[in-house]
Structure 1
Amino acid sequence: MSVLNIGTRALQANQIALQTAGNNIANVNTPGYSRQSVVLTAVEGQFSGGGYVGKGVDVQTIQRNFSAFLTRQATLASATQSADVARSNKLNQLQDIFSGGSTGLGAAVSDMMNAFSDVASAPTDLTARTVALTRVDETAGRFRAASQAIQDLQAGVTQEIQQKVNNINMLAQSIADVNDEIARAQGKGQPPNDLLDRRDQLVRELNQYVQTTSIAADDGSVGIFLAGSQPLVLGTKVSPLTVVSDDFGDPLKSKLSITRDGQQILLDENALGGGEVSGLLRFQNTDLTEGRNLLGRLSLAITTQMNQQHALGLDLDGNAGGPLFTSVTLQAPDNIRTPTPPANPNSNPLVAVSISVTDSTQLAASDYTINFNSATSGSIIRLSDGKVTNFNQTLPSTTLATVDGITFDMPSSGAVPPQVPAAGDRFLIQPFNTAAANVDRVFSTPRQLAVASPIAGAMGTTNKGSLQLVSLTALSNNQGATPHAPVTLTFTNATTYTRSDELPVANATTYTFNPSTPITAVDPLANWSLKLTGTPKAGDTFTVVDIKDPAYKLDLKLNGGNATAMMNLRDKAMFDGAAMTDGYASAISQIGIRTQSAGYSATVSSSIAANLEQDRSAVSGVNLDEEAAKLIQYQQAYQASAKMIQIAQNIFDTLIQGLGR
């Protein structure tokens, strides 16, 4: 009977081994499946006079081939890869918005500036004026289209983040459910391999969305933590994630919060690590913000400069030029926000700050925060690089500071009721949020295009030197009922001159003439800047006159001086020292650098993740060749075990027959 027992045990053990190998082959393509192996152990032998006689084999357990270290490494690498790839993909979409070529925004700006060259050559040509207005309209349209594309991208990212957070919560609940099943199965004394595989696969899927840390508990369950130490899953309890706005209530920026015991805890974005949600949050809160600010700065600077210059000209009817583009108003809540709810219980809800652009050539593509240390002092922080500008307001002045061409003001402390900030008050300033969204051409009549300069220059008819006009630019345009008084420069020699706008003339100041230094007039009615070159003789003159002064019989309709000035804006240093027409190229470059860097990071992290997954699969994956060899091995062992039972049966039959005789 001992031979029969040994054969029976061997038959059962090899049958289980065959079944396990078959299960491995069946699950070769099952995600998360770990290869299983039968662990066999010899049954303790029975002592006899001739030694210990073996009693066969038993199945000790079904072992799960699993490396906790490699699995954890592969999971972390996969989370990093997901974050990098998600961010890289979105940056590629953002880069498409800042496209180059003839259909890009930069080409529209260049075409608009060049169109004024034709108007300057033929100021009375209505066709040239119409083309210029068309170019203005095209530029405005492309600004709006780019702004709308960024808004659409913003909406898509926001929706995607919400969907992925919903998936995180579902996966977290599934992990909690499997935790419960594993904890109950642990009491049976054998590891529930399939449940463990399912939980590990759920954890891997969870890490595709957000990087987590797993800590095992004594009951077999695992705790899932994210953002450093915040528990997402503890045993069978789940703390769900929600998407919320930042502390300023900015709808363009998202943050994650975790709800634990009925209390919402805001998660630090920088502590989230990897995962698609982390990559999308970084893109939305950093990359997309920069793209929006670059576009907004470009729009605000160009339209402001064009409007200012256009206002310095005269149209065909002699009227001062108005805005060429719609003016951008910077106001709450689009551009100025306060914490929601107020972070400072002592805040006066009536306190508000205001901003205005004072120098559009100095704008930086950034948001700002204002932090008050007291009612009169604090700091302004440029968020793009963290640069701090401190202020200490001297009452009753309301100007806090001027930073990057933007003046930050607050209401007068003498207002009724008082509007004085308290220590701890904060404001978020977003100057460029909506700058490009509402850009439009103001008028459509070509006669209203103010291309004539309100001033003109006249060389003295008796000049004997080589004096020549380089440029004469109006700095103001205050049209009155009577012409502005002419200003005559009379040269006393090659290097000095006097001015007729200084009274009495007999005591006029003698100025030094330097061809490289502009001559300016500061007058409430007619400011201008003049550049002359050449070598004047004593007695040579140059006169700056009002173009509408009948004494000089000048036809403003034939004057294209302001069109020339508008065309020359293309070379004006505006965007971090770059010319106006190079501003868009600068924006493309900045977005391109981010996209290229993110793409490189995605490539590297994908390679690392693939290598680590390969290492994990080498331990846990199913090798069909190996399993096929095992099938043959276990089949032969099974057949041998069956033969052993047959032999035992024959011996038993022989014994019975012998006893029967």
Structure 2
Amino acid sequence: MSLNSIINIANSGLMTAQAQIRVSSDNVANVNTPGYVRKVADQVSMNTGGVGSGVEIGRVRLATDRFLQAASLQADADAARQGVRYELYDRIQSLFGDPGGDSGFFSRIDGLFSAFAASAEDAGSTPLRSDALQRAQSLFDESARIAGQIQSVREDADSRIKTAVEQGNMLLSQIEALNVEIARATINGGDATGTLGAQTQLIDQLSSLMDINVAQRPQGGVSIRTGTGVMLAGAGHATLEYTRAGSVNGETAFADVFVTEPGGQKRSLTDNLISGEIKGLLELRDVEAPAAAERLGELMARVADELNRAHNQNSSVPAPTTLAGRNMGQGFEAAVAGFQGTTTIAVTNAAGAIQTRAEVVFSGGTMTVNGVAADPATFLATLNAQLGGQATASFTDGRLSITATGSNGVAIADDPADPARKNDKGFSHWFGLNDMIASGRPATYDTGLTPASPHGFGAGETITFRLGAEGGGRMRDIGFAVPAGGSMADLVTALNNPATGLGRYGTFSLDAQGALSFAGSGSPPATLSVLDDTTVQAQSGVSMTELFGLGGGVRASRADDFSIRTDIRSNPGRLALAQLNLGAAPGSSALSSGDGRGARLLADAATTTVSFDGTSSSAGASMSLSRYASDLSGDIGARASAAKTRADAAGALSQEARARQSAYEGVNLDEELVLLTTYQQAFNASARLIQAASEMYDTLLGMT
């Protein structure tokens, strides 16, 4: 071996040792830099003609492990998903207050019925009446506040989705730009470790927004896909797109998050996410928060309905001049059909004495008024004739009203032995003639309509449905036009048509109480919501969505629409706490101001068994109002606790995955000290070899 070869070999060792020392020095300098991945210089031997000719640095790379990196990215995405779900659901739980405290929402329900129980002991007490009314209004005001705050949480989630989408676009753009730099450095044999480190940190940030899979490209850099395979970066970068809703309420239909892949294909990102912050925000906004609002709406609708049930069995003293019913969402003939039993409509004077009465008997599809036969089409005319001009009944815009003449009043009482009933509601309750709690639209959806009943909507009017997946993602939007046939049977058949309706995704059915429901097909079944509804029922002016409570949105929004009837709120004396005595002697009072039996009925409404409709998060059940409120309280608490447990577990898993990755990829000072010592010794050995070769040159030159 020539002296020149020896010197070249020693020089390569010298240069390689210097490069190794420089790499180790960089590692030591960044020992406390968050997210820093240590560098590794791969040392390889050089050969010339099959003979060793020294060493060199093949490449400087980051000490990454793709399996540990993949585990960390997945754990980070799940931690972000579960963390944001817990953060926002905990806000929803806090809205209801302490379930065991005196000021919490659920304690107000108990306080309301206790106040009515107190009124039963002294029915004539104005302060007790006022207290009961104040508690009732406070309960409904609080439910409206909570419902509004739940929508605020959804709005916050929606805003954060928009921010996350913008951040995702920025990260994808930067990652792709670094891909270009890394590929250029790789081709030119340069050191791309600094750029790789910066790209790794960007990828970590992206993984908190969505679940991603990262693969190394042969030319350098990375390609990134979602967990379901949507291309995000690698050959250009994808563009995310989201348009925020202008305002958020229970019936808001949100737009999808879209992604346009580098190749130009646009698709829904909402359906292609498994975890990450965006996924968690979507689940909270579209599933968990609406479910809480829907159950709150169901509770408050039943509280209002049971209070109205009791109030409609009573009368104020003196009786009100006018009994004005609620909007039935149907024509009078359909509304009055289907009753069984007996009710009495009485006109009383200022002293409470009955001036005239009309006994209405419903039996087997027939009806009589004071023994005079009638049918749904002639009922109002027959009733007015039997009232003898003392009062007049009319039906306008979906509402039945009965108005007494002069200073007289109107009171209604069902027969104790054979009360008039339709869908388990008395005559006055069914029409809402003496409701205590008012609502601007239908709050319960047992319409009483039969397959033969006219639905009342105009042919060609449209409604747009959205079929959703279990996690809230959109499956498909379907437009539906009201058919030419005017019966409920025609409407249900058209809705179930696979070609022009929703028959491919589920089944609509009309039950014995006239409730129209949708059961999604598939596993898990599709969910139904309404995007747009232009239908208007001719008799009442309500839409199909409002009449039947189609989708969870309209059901959830009920909680913010209840209030004490205006005249009762302004005058507690209008509160109906007495019961009409149909057996009172002629000329004597049939109403007593000291009668507190009606207040007892209002107090007992808390323990009456009620049929609750199923919601998106709970099955239908029969239980008392107090029991349902307790179940709702427990359910919200349990869901918040479960969300916290999931968030803690996901966070711990993320920390463990990061710790293992850091143990492999991070800087170990002891290890780097050993390497520095080794490379210094290698440097010294190479230097001594050069010195020895130089001395040999000098000796050989001195011999000539």
TM-score, reference length from structure 2: 0.65
How big is the shift at 1:124? 1.1
User: Which residue pairs with 1:131 in the alignment?
Assistant: 131
Paired residue for 2:268?
266
How many Å separate the matches in 2 of 1:608 and 1:311? Answer: 58
Aligned partners of 1:59, 1:217: CA distance in 2, in Å? Answer: 21
Residues 463, 481 of structure 2: 8 Å contact kept? no
The residue number in structure 1 matching 2:65 is: 67
Which residue is 1:89 aligned to?
A: 87
Contact 1:180 1:235 in 2 (8 A): no
User: Is the aligned partner of 1:318 residue 2:444?
Assistant: no
* Separation of aligned partners in 2, 1:122 and 1:568: 16
What are the residue-to-residue correspondences of 1:250-261 with 2, within 5 Å?
Answer: 251=252, 253=254, 255-260=256-261
Pair 1:577 & 2:577 matched: no
Q: 1:296 to 1:252 in 2, by over 3 A?
A: farther
Give the distance between the partners of 2:571 and 2:223, measured in 1 at CA.
70
The amino acid of 1:77's aligned partner reads: A
Contact 1:222 1:235 in 2 (8 A): no
- What is the correspondence of 1:456-475 to structure 2 with a 5 Å cutoff? none
Which amino acid counterpart does residue 447 of structure 1 have in structure 2? G
1:310 Cα shift? 1.9
Name which of structure 1's ranges 219-228 and 426-435 shifts more when overlaid on structure 2. 426-435
Q: Distance in 1 between matches of 2:484 and 2:587?
A: 57
* Distance apart, 1:265 and its partner CA: 2.2
Does residue 327 of the first structure (1) align with residue 439 of the second (2)? yes
Match of 1:441 in 2: 564
Q: CA distance change for structure 1 residues 55 and 258 in 2, over 3 Å: closer, same or farther?
A: closer
Tell me which residue corresponds to 2:576: 450
Structure 1 CA distance for aligned equivalents of residues 307 and 126 of structure 2: 20
Name 1:304's counterpart in structure 2. Answer: 305
Matched ranges for 1:408-557 at <5 A = 428=551, 430-442=553-565, 443-455=569-581, 486=582, 545=583, 556-557=592-593
Deviation at 1:340? Answer: 8.5
Using the TM superposition, give the Cα deviation of residue 22 of structure 1 relative to its aligned residue in structure 2, in angstroms.
Answer: 0.8
Secondary structure of 1:434's match?
Answer: helix
Q: Which residue of 2 aligns with 1:196?
A: 196
What's the CA shift for 1:113? 0.8
Task: Give distance in 1, aligned partners of 2:178 and 2:185.
Answer: 10
- Residue in 2 that maps onto 1:20: 23
Instruction: Point out the more displaced range, 568-577 or 632-641.
Output: 632-641
Distance 1:344 1:137 in 2: 40
How far, CA to CA, are the matches of 2:639 and 2:515 in structure 1? 34
Q: Quote how far apart the aligned CAs of 1:586 are.
A: 1.3
1:26 and 1:249 map into 2 onto residues whose CA distance is 55
CA 556–380 in structure 1, closer or farther in 2 if over 3 Å, else same: farther
> Retained in 2: the 8 A contact 1:244–1:255?
no
Per the TM alignment, residue 138 of structure 1 is displaced from its structure 2 partner at its CA by 1.6
TM-superposed CA distance for 1:202, in Å, is 2.1
Q: Secondary structure at the match of 1:436?
A: helix
2 CA distance for matches of 1:353 and 1:428?
A: 22
Q: Which residue in the other structure is 2:289 paired with?
A: 288
Instruction: Note the residue ranges of structure 1 that are not aligned, 5 or more in a row.
Output: 355-367, 421-425, 456-485, 487-544
Conservation of the 8 A alpha-carbon contact between 1:76 and 1:211: yes
Distance 1:591 1:120, change over 3 A: same
1:38 equivalent to 2:83? Answer: no
RMSD of Structure 2 on Structure 1 (CA)? 4.3
> Is 1:372 aligned with 2:496?
yes
Q: Structure 1's 346 and 123: CA in aligned 2 closer, same or farther, altered over 3 A? A: closer
Instruction: State the shift of 1:589 in Å.
Output: 1.7
What's the counterpart of residue 276 of structure 1?
Answer: 277
Distance 1:233 1:79, change over 3 A: same
Contact 1:400–1:410 (Cα < 8 Å) also in 2: no
In structure 2, the residue corresponding to 1:214 is in which secondary structure?
strand
Question: In 1, Cα distance between the equivalents of 2:702 and 2:499?
Answer: 114
Match of 1:577, SS state, is strand
Deviations 1:142-182 (A, max 9, x none): 11221222122111111111111111111111121112222
If the length of structure 1 is used for normalisation, what is the TM-score? 0.69
Identical residues among aligned pairs (%): 23
CA contact (8 A) 2:294 2:552 kept: no
Mapped to 2, the partners of 1:412 and 1:171 lie a distance apart of 48
AA paired with 2:304?
A: T
Tell me the equivalent position of 1:222.
Answer: 222
In structure 2, do the counterparts of structure 1 residues 40 and 646 end up closer, same or farther at CA, with 3 Å as the change threshold? Answer: same
Deviations 1:416-473 (A, max 9, x none): xxx99xxxxx974633232122333332322111111123xxxxxxxxxxxxxxxxxx
Matched residue SS, 1:432? helix
Q: Which SS does the other structure have where 1:177 is aligned?
A: helix
CA distance in 1, matches of 2:638, 2:44: 62
CA deviation after TM superposition for structure 1 residue 192, in Å: 2.5
**Distance verdict in 2 for CA 1:241–1:226, change over 3 Å:** farther
For residue 565 of structure 1, the aligned residue among 601, 608, 611 is 601
Q: 1:93 to 1:413 in 2, by over 3 A?
A: closer
Distance in 1 separating the partners of 2:220 and 2:312: 76
Q: How many angstroms does 1:27 deviate by?
A: 2.3
Q: Which amino acid aligns with 1:86?
A: V
1-side partners of 2:660 and 2:560: how far apart?
Answer: 51
Whole-angstrom distance in 1 between the partners of 2:693 and 2:57: 22
Alpha-carbon distance in 2 for matches of 1:313, 1:60: 94
Aligned residues: 525
- Aligned partner (choices 627, 631, 640) of residue 672 of structure 2: 627
Aligned twin of 1:159 = 159
Taking a change above 3 Å as real, the CA distance of residues 63 and 258 of structure 1, as seen in their structure-2 partners, is closer
**Deviation (angstroms), 1:614:** 2.5
Can you list the C-alpha shifts for 1:261-290, whole angstroms capped at 9, x where unaligned? 776422453x41110110111111111010
Which residue identity is paired with 1:448? R
Please name the residue that 1:596 is paired with.
Answer: 641
Q: 1:371 to 1:267 in 2, by over 3 A?
A: farther
- Specify whether residues 555 and 71 from structure 1 end up closer, same or farther in structure 2 by C-alpha distance, changes over 3 A only: closer
In structure 2, how many angstroms separate the alpha carbons of the residues matched to 1:13 and 1:374?
73
CA contact (8 A) 1:157 1:280 kept: yes
Q: 1:587 to 1:344 in 2, by over 3 A?
A: closer
* Secondary structure class of the residue paired with 1:255: coil
Alignment of 1:383-394 (within 5 A): 389-390=508-509
Letter in 2 for 1:10: G
Assess if the C-alpha contact under 8 Å between 1:339 and 1:427 holds in 2.
no
